[in-house]
Amino acid sequence: ADFDGGRITSDGGVLLLAAAERRIGLADRLARLIADPRNPRRVTHGVADILRARILAIACGYEDADDL
């Protein structure tokens, strides 16, 4: 028997969670409440994208999000 796990992941549920988040628009609604003083021409990741990444990282168990 081979117990190396093969092609599995423990974060598969994040795909469903991300779809649900986009459907209800939680990150977008929260982003509208946060002022963004950055120069829009120099912004790569908007506030909604940053919030979405943080929300999904926490949901996956990465509370510190030190790798985002």
pTM: 0.77
* Distance in angstroms (rounded) separating the CA atoms of residues 57 and 64: 9
- Using alpha carbons only, how large is the chain's radius of gyration in Å? 16
Residue 3 pLDDT > 70, yes or no? no
10-52 pLDDT, tens digit per residue, is 667 888 999 999 999 999 999 999 999 999 999 999 999 999 9
* Distance in angstroms (rounded) separating the CA atoms of residues 44 and 27: 17
